[in-house]
Every structure is written in C-alpha cells, then in structure tokens.
Structure 1
Amino acid sequence: MTFRGRPGLFRDARRLLPSGRGPLLRKALPVAAALPPVAAAWIGVTGWLAHSELRAAQDDLNALRTAVTAAAASGPAAASAGAPAESDQERLLRSAAAHAARAHDLTTGPAWYTAAALPLVGGPLETVRGIAQASDRLAGDVLPPLLRAVPRLTAGAHTGGVPRALTELGGQAPAFDRAARAADEVRSAVRRLDRSTWLPAADRGRAQLADQLDRLVPRTRDAAVAARWVPSMLGTQGPRRYFLSFQNTAEARGTGGLPGAFAVVRADRGRLTFERFGNNTELEGVGADVDLGDEFEAQYGNNGPAAVWANSNMSPHFPYAGRIWTEAWRTHTGQGLDGAIAIDPGTLGLLLRATGPARMPDGTELTADNTVDLTERASYATFTDVAQRKAFFVEAARAAAARMMTAFDDPSLLPALLSAVQDVQREGRMQLWSAHPAEQRLLETAGLAGALPDTPGPFAGLVVNNAAGTKLDYYLDRSLVWSPGACTDTGRAVTVTVTLANRAPVSGLPHYVTQRVDHPPYPTRAGDNRLLVSYYAGIGATLTGATLDGRKVALIPGAERGHPVYTLDLELPRQSSRTLVLHLREPRADHPPTLLRQALVTPMRATVRPTEPCGS
C-alpha cells in the first residue's frame, strides 16, 4: 500500500532524470518538458504529500491490527470493560480512512489526470493514482465492516459464549458480502495497473499492494461465506447431528485415509457434544442405498464402495463419501444425519498446537508433535491385539475431542483455534458435507467440501488408494511435476512426471502393518506395498502415451465428474521409487493447473513449470 523504507517516488525520479541516459529517457524527457512548470511542480508536491498520507494510513492500520489482536485474545474482564478498546479501534480506523482519502484527493484533478495519460512518462503517475484510490476504498469500504465485527464477536463470545458469537456472526453476513465484493473490485483494479514502469518505487508499491490484496480477498470471501453457513450448521436454527470420521492416512484412500474411529456429533445453538464413539468394525458389512450415478459406478463399482466400509471413500470427491457414510448410519441405526465431517491425525495435531495437549485415560499425552506418529506408527508396535488397538484409537479420538470442546468454550483460545482451522483447511485435512443443499453449495464455495471441481481448465490430480491392505502409506513419498509444452490447433502438450517412493524399513515393522491382504500371485517381501495410482487430468484432455520407469505402460482409462482419469495398478517394493510419466493433450489455456492435493502423512511435493501464452 505504501513505499515503506524508500526515500520517496520523486527522489527516485531525480536520480534518473539528470543523467538523461537510455533510449526510454531520451524519448520521455521532451514529452515531460511539455508539461507546464506549474503543473509539474503541483504533481511533485502533491505526490510527496500523498506518499506521506499513505504512510500515515499504513501506520494506523498496523496499530489497529495490534489492537484487534489484543482485544480478541483478552479475557472476559477486558471484554466486559471493552468500550475504550473499541473506541481506540474506531479512532484508528477513522484516521486510516481519512489519510487514505486525502491521498486519493491529492492524486486527482486535471494535472494528475493529464500527466498520467502522457505516453512513456505517465506510467508511474497512473500507478500512484491507482494505489491511492485502492487504499481509499480499502480503508473506507472493505476494512470497516470486517474490523467493526471483531469487537462484537469477541464480546459475544465472552459474555454469552459461542452461541452468542455465532448469532453475531450471522448478523454480519450482509456487511461481509459488501466488503468481499469491494475487495475483489479493488484487487481487479490494481491488477490492471502497469507492472513495469520507468520508476521502480512505483512498481514496488503496486506489487506490495497486490500481494496484500491477494491475501485479503480470500479472507474477506471466506468471512462472507462463513457468516452464512457456520451459524446454521452449528445449530442456531435447531439441533444438528453429523457423522465424524477419523481417517487413518497410514492406509491411503481417495479422501485421505481409511475411515477408522468415528463419532456422532450434536450441534445445538453452538454447543458441540459427542453422542457416540465407535470404530470401523461396527460398520463393516453395513450397506448404503445410494445412487451416485453411472460414472461413479463405472469407476468404483467393482470395489463395492456402498457395501464395503473400507472402500467407501475411494473417490477423492468427499460428497460421495459423506452420502455413503450418512446413509450407512441410517441403515445401521435408523437415525438420520445432517452431514459428515472427515479429519485425520494431522488435523488433531494442528488443533492441539492451539489448545494444548490432551490426556488419555491411561495417562498417554497427545500433543501437536506426537499425535500422527502415536496413532499411525507407534500404536501398531504397542498393541498386537487388534481389538485393543482399535479401542486405543477410539480413546485417542475421545481425548482429543474433549480437549477441543474445552477450548471451544474458552474465548481466549478462539483466535488460536481459528488460525489452526485455517492451517487445517489449507492442507486439505478437514472436509465437510452437508445434507442441506444450500449449505453444501456454500461449503464448496469456501473450499471446505473436498469437492472434485467439474469446471473446465487445466487440472492436475494425483490420487492413490492402498490396494494391499497394509499400513505402509505412513512411509510413502509423492512428487508431481507438471510441465506444459507447445500449443497446437488441438490444444497444449503437457508432460506429467509422478514419482512414488516407499521408505518402509527392511525389518522391524509389525506383521499387521506389512501384511498383504490382497494375496498377490507373485512373491513379495515384508514392507512391499501396492497402490492404485490415478491421475486426474483437465476436462477435455486426452492421454497420448505413458511410461513407467522409462518403459511404455498401458493405463486404465476412466472418468469422474467430467475429468479423464488414468489408473495404474502399481507394485511398490520397500526402499524403492518408481516414476510414471504421462504425456497428455490438454485444451489450450494460458494459466497453470488447479492442483488436487490428497492429504496423507507426508504432503505431496508439487512443481508447476511456467506456462507460456498460446497466442492468438
């Protein structure tokens, strides 16, 4: 938003102008000389004043950010006496808006308009005008409804608990919508400004503002969407019940991991309680009467996802799993549910970092650092009895859930919890499905639904399903490199390189971890794994060839939600890596692909090579 740390726009200009070197300046100087001296002086003075105003606005916003953070983290006593703090926030907001408005006023008028329109010379002046106008709109239209909501939400949490805060959040939805639209309009205007002028300080200011907007716009959009779905899903309009699955990512499935321990969660006016805990043994053999379409049946029907609980989430499109799980629960208990939620030990670790550790009945402490290792590796060595191990998983889930509920009722922890939830969302470790269509649409808009998009455009998705019944995906490494090639009349050539590595040790693993329930007809060793490897290409793409470790290989074609899917049944020996290369013809596009990130124990390393424009 400002040129922090710089001596000013026009001091940089003075450094450039006296030398007169370079073809650009030789062309620009005669044009600049045509400006009336008074107009040039006016632009210089007002430009410096505008720069000072923008710096003052930035200082106010920095102070405001500190004040808001302190107020959100303060205790009930501070909230109950929070009028002065709120007054300070309002004062800082008004001051920032006033400074930004003056900067905008200073860079308008005939002199600025005319100078900014001059060829060659006017570029940085137009950029400065754009920065000032954007700052004015940010301080006047975008930040006020967002920042003014914070004290109300915080006070609601402190004085009336989470239900009061949720009511306040729902009441802010129209204001959040207006702020999100304004933020998006400001970002579009800044993106239209010239990225490279003859004045580096102006370019840096535009780049800094663009970077801030790229972070702000998604947050305003998320706040607007959350204000419309969070209150209702947490039961402000009546009790809700959800199926919560704790996925075991040591055995990969399309949505993350094998559905293991589970709970039924009740939400009533913002209060969450756990009505029941169980493990996957209880649901084995329970079928779900759902029709997910011919395409789903063709892709997964042979694996019986609606009848075999362990295969219920092979598709990476989480709404399919949500429908299967809730319908299976109806079949099993007669109880209807309002939706489904999937998390994994990585989710628990991120949340426990915000809440502090949880303690199990046997004294075991679950922390941010040990949850994944304890539940997905160490427990297999500790418990040789399957029933004991499954009971341990349920108790771990129960202990973590109890810690979350305690934290949820502690307003001082809400900022840290919200930050942790953002981390979980960014890693794709929490997926939500609502049986209420309007809410489901909002979840998909917010990127929380784990939905496989069905829109055109470049796309790259690597999905693995464990086909061996092992727990060896704890040791799985994945990498994907997407390399665009030349454009033709029929599309763009794309090369995708997928490398999978099995880091399982050669000895020391429990039999339950390494056992091959697929009973392959070829010899294997303890630690060898088998995966169904699927690559999801962009809608309209075709496969022109593929190699595995340098040799041609045939892939099984399929389709899901319009995406071509190419699958390989891959044996992956311990302490080895294998490389699959796909050559594709994608529809012409000048932007990078949307990446599907399947959340497993070790995140996938993804590299997207630069995309050159196809031209006209």
Structure 2
Amino acid sequence: MPRRPARGARRYEPERSRRKRRIIGAFGVVALSVLGWLAFNAVSARNHLLDARAALEAAQAASDRDDEPEVDEAARRAGAELKAASNAVSQPQWSLYAHLPWVGDDARAVRTIAQVGATVGGKILDDLLDARGTLADGGLRRDDGSVDLARVAALRRPLGAAAAPLADAAERLGDLPQNGLSSSIRDAVEAAADAAERAANAVRVADRTLNIAVPMLRGSHDYAVVFQNSAELRPTGGLPGAWSVLEVRDGRIAIGRQGSGRDVIADGPVAPIDPGVERTLGARVATDFRDTALVPDFPTAASYQQALLAAVEGVDVDGVLAIDPVAISYLLGATGPITLSSGTSLSEDNAVDYLLHQVYVDIPDPDEQDAVFAGIVKQVFDRLLSADLPTADLIDAVSRAVGERRFLVWSDEDAVQRRISRTSVSGALPADGQGVGIYFSDGTRSKMSYFLDVDATARAVDCGSEGQEYRIALTLRSTAPPDAATTEPSYVLGPDFREKGAQVVNILMLAPRGGTVPVASILGGRFPTDDLSVDGRPGALLTLLLRPGEAAPLQISMSGPAGERGPTPFGMTPTVRFASTEHTIPSACG
C-alpha cells in the first residue's frame, strides 16, 4: 500500500505539471491586471462622462439666466471632460472589454458616446461658442436696428462647419442597439441621442435660415407677412387672415401697409390652377385670399396670395412669409411681453390662448379682430428689430418655429427659392411627388380648431413588388367643453353651423405619385372618402364630425409606386398643440 506523504512534506509533481501551473498562474495575474485596468478605465470614462453632463447642465442653466461667461466656461469644461472620456476608451485594450460577456454591449455604447462627445466637444464646440458670442447682445444688428449682413454671412461658417458632424453624431447615437444594455446605460444612450438630435436640428435650421436670410435682406424688397390663423385650420397651417407688408432696404426693415384677407377677393382666378387641385378644391384657391391655403403646397398658395394682393390691393410683393400664433408666442419669448391698445399684456405664456380664442370672446367684430392681429404683428416686428435684443434668443425662437413648420417662406426670385426649397421653411410638397401627406382644414367655418388635439405616427410596413405600404395611425380629439354650444361665442362656434359645439375636420390624405389612393378606417370599418388628385398624386378627402370630448382613432393605408424603396418624406399640418416637425418614414425595404 502506497505511503502518504508526511504532513508538511512536498508532494512530488512532474516538471510538465509544474510548468503548466506556473503558466496558468501567470496568466491569471495578467488577466486580473487587465481586468483591473479595464475596470479602472470604465470607471474613469464613466466619471468623465458624468462630469461632462453636469457641465453641460450648468451651461444650459447659465444660458437661461443670460450669463454668457459662465456658458463659455461650463461648455469648455464639458468639452475637456468629453475628450478625457474618449481617451479613456480609446486604448487598444478597451476592445477586450467590449467583447466580454454581460458588459460588452455597455462598453461599446459608452465608447461610442465618449467618441462622439469628443468629436463634438472639440473644435466644433469652440466654433459654436464663438458663434454664440457673436449672437449675444445684438451682435448681428447695428445701432440703428438694421441687420449687419456681413456679420450674418460670416456667422454661417461655424454653423455650416458644425452641421454635418452634429448630424453624424445624432445618427451614430440613434443607431446604437439598446437590447442588452443595462438600464443606466440605456438611459444615458437615450439622453445622449436626444441631445445630439436636438443640437443637430437647431444648428441645421439656424444655418439654413441664415443662408436664406442674406439674399432676402440684401437689396430692396417687399414681402407680405401673412398671419395664418390656426383656430381655423388650413393645410399650410391656418386661415390666411391679416397681412402686412415687410419693407426691406439693405438690412433695414420696416412694417408698411397692412390689411385683412377678407378684403382680398377677385372676380375670378388670378393665376393658372392645377386641374387636379381645381377639381378637388375649386377655383376659389386663386380667387379668395383666405382660401389660398387650402392648397397643401405653400409655394403654390403663396404665389396665389402674391397675385391676389397685386390684382385686388395694388400691392406688389417679392415673396410671402407666413407665421402662426404659436410661432408668435416663441418670438415673444425672445422679445418679452408687449402691451396691446386695450391694455392687455401679451406674453409667450398667454399669446396662443389670446390670439386663438380669447380675442373672439372679447372682440366680436371680425374687422376689429384683424386689426388686433395686424397690430400684434407690427409690435412684435418692431421689438424684433430693436438693437438691444439678444440675437441668440431670436434665432432660437425662429429655429423652433421653422422646425415645427410654423414659419414658412416663399420668394419669387428663382435663386433664392432654390435655397428655400431645400429646407422645411418652404412648406412645399416633395418635388418628386414621393411623399406621404396628411393635411387638415376646418369645415365648420368657425374657430373650433383651437379645440382640436392631434396625435399621429407613420411607418412603412411592407416592401412588395407593388411598392412600399404605409400605415398612419391618426387620432383626432375634440377638447371643447361639454357646454361649448352655450358658452362659446357664435363666431367661434360657426354662425352657419347647425350642430353648435361640434366641429367638422376635413382630412386631405395624399399618397406618393404612382401609388394607391389612401383608405381610412375607424375600428376596422372603412370610412367613406372622396377620391381625388393633387399635383398628380392620388389622394382622398375624409370629412369627420367631432363633438365635444369625442375622439376618432383612424388607420390610414396607402402605398407608393413600384420600385421606390427609399425612405419617404412625411408631411402634416401643424395644429395648436401638434408640431409638424421634419420627419421621414424609414424604408421597409431594409
């Protein structure tokens, strides 16, 4: 029987086994060292990212209180932290961490956030801070309130340089897969993607706005500023009511003649009308100023408005700017409150309610209402042109209005209009006819659209040989009070509408050119529509009655032309509480 080794004696071990154990032990030490290093770098990257986030929050807070030096300091501190975070995740060993089970997805997400942040937080951030400094304290205006066109043109360099990298950053963060991420990292990815998208949109809109502004402000031009009343919806945003002439003379801007759309009615069409539009909407789109916005293509509607002003009022303008009350509220956020002749103080907080509802309660006469709207437009523009207004606040307000399609521009100068057509400020239908559109107009002849809530989502659900198939989930809801029929003024309810308190919404649905006519259903049952065509695009018109408190959940189906496999532009009418932001339906074809 073999003898056991004595206690404390060394067991015999072959040389090969000893060598193997030494190798394993050494590997373990190295592995622990690597994992420790990785853990340290993970913690370091996380801490730098948290510090960057805190610095950016401090920059936002400083911006809200107009503390420009602190904005610069906090933003540059955020840039340094983002660069340090990127350095922490850029070592070759980090790739090992990114391939470890359980934590690899988180590591890849953190690395992407850090790398994107470092890219944006370097020269791009420096350029944007310099641009912000130029915008502060009225930096684009001279002492007399006129616009310094040379400085406007120079401002485009940093904005143009930042636009593409910010868009790329937003895309990279938006494409990060979120399955497999821990909850904290997932929240960080969502926050970073949202922040990048908002920054990219703001810079893109500001850059494009300035690109359009320079040629429109240079030289001698007159433009019509049209107040689109979204309490009575039209496809481009609202009923064209009060109008004003904006006189531009080499950067100097003044408000000239003003009038009401109700007075601009011709005996017959003042311009050629697309046959499909005329069959669908009638000749009044080129006869009555208020009905021009029934055309969902703003350049067409604006050209009719130009022609009507010339034919009826003898007013010659070089273009049209349309603005709605929500956009005016954004501008009031930049200018501060104004005081009306009645003594009413109008601010960002109460402008929408006053302009779209309370004014009809206080002032029953339509001519006096239009005079109030015209006076507000003049006061707001006078404030916008004051030399002491911080330009950064103004550009933020305009960018927001443009991004929500609440501020539209058309020029009859081809070179300028080509610039405009590449942006959402154009309000145009897609030039190739390959967009999907949902557009609203009031059928009550009332101001009940103030009580309309809208929710919508659009997606491509199939990629077949007959073209992509689209589904739009659309819910319309009346927020009118139950006793609206007895508490609202007749002018709001619609003097000629029999069912007081209800509202009729006409929904114009347009499919891509070469596609199928849209079909609408409620709770699975097909809803009757009138088939039509606009600009060669198949469409349908749905008329919907909404009583106070009622909601209508619609499912709209349509398809595009065979062979069209790319993403699809999606356009909608902005309403009082629904912002029709730039949107593209991702392709279902992969």
Tell me whether the two structures share a fold, i.e. TM-score over 0.5: yes
1:550-569 equivalence runs, <5 A: 553-561=527-535, 563-569=537-543
Residue 351 to residue 201, structure 1, CA distance change in 2 (3 Å): closer
- Cα distance between partner residues in 1 of 2:488 and 2:85: 66
Q: CA 1:516 to 1:33, structure 2 compared with 1: closer, same or farther past 3 Å?
A: farther
The match for 1:247 is 228
Contact 2:273 2:286 in 1 (8 A): no
* Structure 1 residues 456 and 198: CA distance shift in structure 2, 3 A: same
1:439 aligns with 2:434: no
Pick one of 506, 519, 534 that aligns with 2:485.
506
1:42 alignment counterpart: 37
Among 276, 299, 320, which residue is 1:319 paired with?
A: 299
The residue that corresponds to 1:463 in the other structure is 440
The amino acid that maps onto 2:530 is I
Matched, 1:584 2:586: no
Match of 1:264 in 2: 245
Q: Give the direction of change, closer, same or farther, for the CA distance of 1:337–1:34 in structure 2 (3 Å limit).
A: farther
Unaligned runs of 5+ in 2: 1-26
Counterpart residue type for residue 284 of structure 1: I
Deviation at 1:614, TM superposition (A): 6.0
**1:75-103 deviation per Cα after TM superposition (whole angstroms, max 9, x unaligned):** xxxxxxxxxx4xx7766665544443343
1:277-296 alignment to 2 at 5 Å? 277-285=258-266, 289-291=270-272, 293-296=274-277
SS in 1 for 2:223: strand
Task: Give CA-to-partner distance per residue, 1:518-551, whole Å, 9 cap, x none.
Answer: 9xxxxx4555655543223455543475557987
Counterpart residue identity of residue 567, structure 1:
L
Query: For residues 205-220 of structure 1, what are the structure 2 equivalents within 5 Å?
Result: 205-220=188-203
Aligned-partner residue type, residue 154 of structure 2: G
The 3-state SS of whatever aligns with 2:247 is: strand
Return 278-287 or 174-183, whichever deviates more: 278-287
- How many residue pairs align between the two structures? 556
Partner amino acid, structure 2, of 1:326: Q
One-letter identity of the residue aligned with 2:378 = A
Task: Report the CA distance between 1:62 and its aligned residue.
Answer: 4.4
Q: Sort the Cα spacing of 1:373 and 1:144 in 2 relative to 1 into closer, same or farther, 3 A.
A: closer
Cα distance in 2, alignment partners of residues 551 and 119 from structure 1:
50
* Equivalent residue number for residue 222 of structure 1: 205
Q: Secondary structure at the match of 1:409?
A: coil
Q: What TM-score, normalized by structure 1, do the two folds share?
A: 0.75
For 2:394 and 2:381, the matched residues in 1 are separated by: 9
Provide the rounded CA distance (Å) in 2 between the counterparts of 1:391 and 1:613.
50
Residue of 175, 178, 193 corresponding to 1:195: 178
Query: Judging changes above 3 Å, is the alpha-carbon distance between structure 1 residues 564 and 34 closer, same or farther for their aligned structure 2 residues?
Result: farther
Matched, 1:347 2:347: no
CA contact (8 A) 1:344 1:429 kept: yes
8 Å contact 1:425–1:448 — kept in the other structure? yes
Larger gyration radius, structure 1 or structure 2: 2
SS of equivalent residue, structure 2 residue 219: coil
Task: Tell me if structure 2 keeps the 8 A contact 1:460–1:596.
Answer: yes
Q: SS of the counterpart of 2:485?
A: coil
Structure 2 partner of 1:428: 405
Against the structure 1 CA distance between its residues 546 and 390, is the aligned structure 2 distance closer, same or farther, given a 3 Å change threshold?
same
**Partner residue in 1 for 2:368:** 391
- Residues 127 and 158, structure 2, Cα contact 8 Å, conserved in 1: yes
Are 2:517 and 1:534 aligned?
A: no
Answering whether residue 86 of structure 2 is matched by residue 104 of structure 1, we say yes
Aligned equivalents of 1:531 and 1:49: distance in 2?
A: 57
Write the distance in 1 (CA, Å) between the matches of 2:215 and 2:142: 18
Deviates more, 1:56-65 or 1:543-552: 543-552
Structure-2 separation of matches of 1:49 and 1:604: 40
1:375 shift after superposition = 4.9
Mapped partners of 1:435, 1:353: distance in 2: 31
Per-residue deviation at 1:181? 1.3
Give the C-alpha shift of residue 447 in structure 1: 2.0
The answer to whether the 8 A contact 1:156-1:168 is kept is: no
Q: Secondary structure at the match of 1:285?
A: coil
1:142 to 2:116 alignment: no
CA RMSD of superposed structures (Å): 4.3
Query: Secondary structure of 2:117's match?
Result: helix
Choose from 115, 123, 126 the match for 1:133.
115
Distance 1:269 1:150, change over 3 A: farther
Q: Distance in 2 between matches of 1:444 and 1:276?
A: 28
Shift of 1:315: 1.5
Give TM-score scaled by structure 2 length. 0.78
Indicate conservation of the 8 Å contact 2:140/2:152, yes or no: no
Structure 2 residue matching 1:352: 3-state secondary structure = helix
Q: In structure 1, how many angstroms separate the alpha carbons of the residues matched to 2:186 and 2:459?
A: 30
Q: Which residue of 2 aligns with 1:238?
A: 219
Residues 145/527 of structure 1: CA separation in 2 closer, same or farther (3 Å cut): same
> Percent of aligned pairs with the same residue?
22
Aligned to 1:154: 136
For residues 194 and 235 of structure 2, the distance between their equivalents in structure 1, rounded to whole angstroms, comes to 33
Cα offsets for 1:404-441 (capped at 9, x unmatched): 41354153554544444344345433222222344334
Question: What's the offset of the Cα at 1:265?
Answer: 0.9
Contact 2:519-2:558 within 8 A present in 1 as well:
no
Give the 3 Å change call, closer, same or farther, for CA 216–247 of structure 1 in structure 2: closer
Residues 51 and 223 (structure 1 numbering): CA distance in 2 closer, same or farther, change over 3 Å? Answer: same
Query: How far is the alpha carbon of 1:396 from its aligned partner?
Result: 4.0
SS of residue paired to 1:253: coil
1:293-312: CA deviation from partner (whole Å, max 9, x where unpaired):
44434433x24311222321
> Structure 2: how far apart are the matches of 1:43 and 1:283?
73
Q: CA deviation at 1:401?
A: 2.1
CA distance, structure 2, for counterparts of residue 356 and residue 155 of structure 1: 15
CA contact (8 A) 1:540 1:564 kept: yes
Letter in 2 for 1:327: A
Aligned CA distance change for structure 1 residues 286 and 240 (closer, same or farther; 3 Å): farther
Structure 2 CA distance for aligned equivalents of residues 505 and 335 of structure 1? 40
* CA separation of 1:330 and 1:105: change in aligned 2, threshold 3 A: same
Q: Which of 169, 181, 187 lines up with 1:186 in the alignment?
A: 169
Equivalent residue, structure 1, for 2:573: 598
Amino acid paired to 1:108: S
Residue 80 of structure 1 is matched in structure 2 by none
Q: For the Cα contact (< 8 Å) 1:64–1:93, is it kept in 2?
A: yes
* Unmatched segments (≥5 aa) in structure 1: 1-31, 75-84, 519-523
